[in-house]
């Protein structure tokens, strides 16, 4: 069955596209399946038919052990879903591909966790996304690996978002799912990068979907209060391709999806908002928020057509009172609502399935189906609502003894009407439900924290092929340039090529500039830059950037000019090994008014250092000093090099303020292992995740005394290895024996060298004489 949805240019621009007709972009021949976890209309609905009226766990077509909190996506008879396997240090998270009919595992791409603070096995909370044009699969793992794979599992490109962009992790493990929009794939996360993006922010990143080159990055929200994995919803606004999303500062934002330029935001909540938005009739956005412990609301906001007058004024901050259409007291922390015509269906935090009129916010009916809900969302298809619940509050079914309590989830099939929701079936699943169901070829797929299930009719059931013939408006006159990649990392003497794309005022592509002689390149220092620095490099006649040969780190921006059009990119030059920094060349020209201290900004090319560390004078020497004026930055991780570095030794002088009762923590990072002196615990700790790999040995150290910390990794031919660390007072001789040695079965093969500081009790830590050398 092929269902076509065509949109004329007039309809798109008039703002009359119905909520059920807001398609994900596709320019390819139709494929059967569902390519994104929110479905083809971005609202939690599917056009699949012939789906089961009842679900019984004992009558599953198949089930396999592949735990996670993901939503399956499906194309051409293949199911792709995030998941994890293994235990302790050997736990791996990633994507697996299964035969949709039999459940046979076809391939998988799995990664070890590293440097994350994820707890309670909160892995695989994101979902894969399939590109309808190429069939490629995009994933983001909890530790920040963002990757593109072919439909048969071949790795096409990959980024370590943590080491390349300063992406932070959180104990809740919430991880965003990618969004494909024409030639771009968009993801998001809380990052603390370098330069102007040094302060922690809830940022969106758009990459060329085929090459993995960064097209733009955007910070549309205020300082985040929490991470958010709210899924961006694509649409059109006054001729601009935009997306709407909730953010970690508690706002709803509108962003130009082709350039990353923020347009407006509406502050709503004092914490981050995780539920995905709904867009209805292209004139209103519906958000829902709350926490398990705080009240929240569901709110409908009128989509504003106000535009910022210039980049400095973006985004416009709109008052809720001037955009609110209605509000009610329903709340969720992470579960998202779905939209069926003029009806919203959502499972509230307390386990009620609610039906709401989208135009008025009036509650039409509700039924109690559980006691609490988290990430899982309903799916509407074939006239029914499929609802997974976190825990089963009592179905009467027998389950194994080890599956009792929090080890089982519930799954409901409900027939909605204008006046009630009729329960057609209720079953108990092994494992709790955090993921959302997917529909395909007469079948329902659901993942739990134990299994991946398939229910429904065996065989070919005439899967719906949704062909989205979405017409984009023709571009206008060129008014700006987009430089791809918009950010680069080079080594001395290395070169990079760029694509220069002319865009109209709305951000739509006009043409790629092919004549390199027509492009003029010049170093550029933004007028707002706190560090006036340039990237050391020059352009050749054919438009290639060549980094300076000197082994000196540098960072800055370049401006491209074509006639009266301008565009920008930024970049870093980082030498290979050795890396050495004693901070003595820094000039203290800035004042930290809170701490009343003179300082210099840390090295500009370092990831995650700004505002968390400052270069100050300590006992007559210059050192990197952990700031204590902002509690949000009390934990700081800094990366100093290339994520592909390996087989090196890193060492540094370290010190903590304190007394006999309290000290702070300070350490270094070697190839994705953290080696930390713990002040209050009086230990030396080696970890790569606080739950999966954390080994401590006693080590008594004194506050306000310099110590020297040194670590290296030893790898074996079979992939195993050993993490070695030693520490001693700086003025003493280096001991021959290692203070701690930790054997690991699977050694991280590479990783960026870095530094770490944690000052939870207003006790600064200090780092000096950093050296990274090849083994």
What does the angle CA 592 – CA 595 – CA 601 come to, to the nearest 5 degrees? 35
**C-alpha distances in angstroms, 740 versus 174, 536, 667?**
33, 40, 14
pLDDT computed for residue 30 by the predictor:
37
Per-residue tokens: 393 = 């509050």
> Residue 20 pLDDT > 50, yes or no?
no
> Residue 406 pLDDT > 50, yes or no?
no
> Residue 19 pLDDT > 60, yes or no?
no
Which region, left, alpha or beta, applies to residue 395 given φ > 0 means left and ψ of -120 to 50 means alpha? alpha
| Residue of 24, 62, 70, 32 whose CA lies nearest to 441 | 32
| Residue of 249, 299, 295 whose CA lies nearest to 274 | 249
> pLDDT by residue (tens digit) across 349-397?
999 999 999 999 999 999 999 999 999 999 999 999 999 999 997 644 4
What's the rounded Cα separation, in Å, for the pair 322 and 319?
5
Quickly tell me which residue has 């083809």 as its tokens: 40
pLDDT computed for residue 507 by the predictor:
97
pLDDT band with cut points at 50, 70 and 90 for residue 468? low
684-690 average pLDDT score = 95
663-682 average pLDDT score = 97
pLDDT computed for residue 191 by the predictor:
96
CB 125 within 8 A of CB 434: yes
CB 379 within 8 A of CB 401: no
pLDDT computed for residue 394 by the predictor:
65
pTM for the full model?
0.94
Radius of gyration of the chain (CA): 27
> pLDDT by residue (tens digit) across 294-321?
889 999 999 999 999 887 778 999 999 9
Report which secondary-structure segment, H or E, holds 502. Answer: strand 499-504
Worst-scoring range by mean pLDDT, 292-296, 314-318, 465-469, 600-604? 465-469
pLDDT band with cut points at 50, 70 and 90 for residue 405? very low
């Amino acid at each position: 069955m092929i269902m076509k949805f065509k949109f004329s240019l007039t309809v798109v621009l008039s703002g009359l596209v119905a909520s059920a007709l807001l398609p994900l972009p596709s320019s390819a021949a139709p494929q059967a399946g569902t390519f994104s976890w929110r479905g083809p209309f971005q609202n939690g609905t599917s056009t699949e038919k012939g789906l089961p009226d009842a679900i019984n766990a004992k009558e599953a077509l198949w089930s396999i052990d592949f735990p996670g909190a993901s939503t399956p996506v499906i194309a051409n008879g293949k199911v792709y879903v995030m998941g994890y396997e293994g235990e302790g240090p050997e736990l791996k998270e990633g994507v697996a591909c299964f035969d949709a009919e039999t459940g046979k595992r076809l391939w998988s791409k799995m990664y070890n966790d590293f440097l994350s603070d994820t707890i309670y096995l909160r892995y695989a909370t994101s979902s894969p996304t399939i590109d309808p044009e190429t069939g490629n699969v995009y994933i983001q793992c909890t530790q920040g690996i963002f990757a593109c794979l072919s439909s048969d599992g071949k790795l096409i490109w990959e980024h370590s978002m943590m080491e390349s962009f300063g992406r932070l992790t959180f104990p809740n493990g919430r991880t965003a799912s990618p969004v494909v929009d024409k030639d771009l794939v968009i993801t998001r996360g809380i990052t603390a990068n370098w330069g102007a993006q040094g302060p922690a922010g809830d940022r969106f990143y758009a990459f060329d979907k085929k090459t993995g080159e960064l097209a733009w990055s955007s910070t549309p929200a205020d300082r985040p209060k929490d991470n958010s994995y709210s899924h961006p919803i694509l649409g059109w606004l006054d001729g601009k391709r935009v997306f709407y999303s909730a953010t970690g500062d508690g706002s709803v934002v509108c962003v130009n999806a082709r350039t990353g330029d923020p347009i407006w935001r509406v502050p709503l909540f004092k914490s981050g908002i995780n539920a995905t938005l709904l867009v209805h009739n292209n004139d209103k956005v519906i958000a829902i928020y709350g926490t398990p412990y705080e009240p929240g609301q569901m709110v409908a906001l009128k989509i504003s057509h106000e535009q910022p007058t210039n980049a400095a004024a973006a985004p416009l901050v709109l008052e809720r009172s001037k955009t609110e259409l209605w509000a009610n007291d329903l709340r969720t922390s992470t579960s998202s609502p779905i939209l069926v015509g003029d009806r919203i269906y959502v499972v509230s935090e307390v386990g009620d399935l609610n039906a709401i009129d989208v135009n008025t916010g009036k509650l039409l009916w509700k039924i109690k189906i559980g006691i609490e809900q988290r990430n899982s969302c309903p799916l509407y298809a074939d006239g029914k609502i499929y609802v997974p619940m976190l825990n089963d509050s009592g179905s009467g079914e027998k389950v194994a003894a080890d599956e009792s309590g929090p080890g089982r989830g519930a799954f409901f099939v409900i027939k909605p009407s204008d006046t009630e929701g009729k329960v057609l079936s209720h079953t108990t699943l092994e494992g709790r439900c955090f993921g959302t169901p997917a529909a395909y070829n007469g079948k329902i797929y659901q993942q739990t924290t134990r299994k991946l299930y398939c229910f429904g009719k065996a065989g070919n059931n005439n899967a719906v092929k949704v062909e989205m013939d979405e017409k984009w408006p023709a571009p206008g006159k060129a008014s700006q340039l987009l430089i791809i990649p918009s950010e680069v990392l080079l080594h001395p003497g290395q070169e990079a090529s760029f694509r220069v794309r002319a865009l109209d005022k709305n951000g739509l592509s006009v043409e790629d500039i092919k004549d390199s002689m027509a492009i003029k390149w010049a170093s550029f220092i933004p007028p707002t830059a706190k560090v006036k620095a340039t990237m050391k490099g020059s352009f050749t006649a054919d438009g290639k950037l060549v980094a300076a040969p000197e082994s000196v780190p540098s960072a800055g921006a370049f401006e491209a000019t074509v006639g009266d059009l301008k565009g920008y990119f930024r970049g870093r030059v980082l030498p290979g090994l050795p890396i050495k920094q004693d901070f003595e060349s820094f000039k203290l020209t800035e004042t930290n008014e809170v701490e009343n201290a003179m300082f210099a900004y840390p090295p500009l090319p370092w990831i995650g250092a700004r505002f968390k560390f400052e270069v100050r004078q300590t006992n007559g020497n210059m050192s990197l000093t952990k700031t204590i004026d902002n509690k949000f930055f009390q934990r700081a991780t800094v990366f100093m090099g290339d994520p592909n570095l390996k087989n090196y030794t890193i060492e540094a002088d370290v010190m903590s303020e304190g007394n006999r009762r309290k000290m702070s923590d300070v350490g270094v990072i070697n190839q994705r292992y953290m080696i930390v002196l713990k002040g209050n615990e009086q230990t030396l700790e080696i970890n790569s995740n606080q739950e999966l790999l954390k080994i401590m040995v006693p080590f008594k150290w004194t506050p306000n005394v310099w110590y020297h910390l040194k670590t290296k990794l030893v790898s074996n031919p079979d992939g195993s290895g050993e993490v070695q660390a030693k520490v001693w007072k700086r003025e003493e001789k280096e001991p021959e024996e290692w203070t701690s040695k930790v054997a690991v079965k699977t050694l991280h093969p590479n990783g960026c060298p870095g530094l770490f500081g944690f000052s939870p009790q207003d006790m600064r830590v200090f780092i000096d004489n950093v050296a990274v050398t090849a083994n």
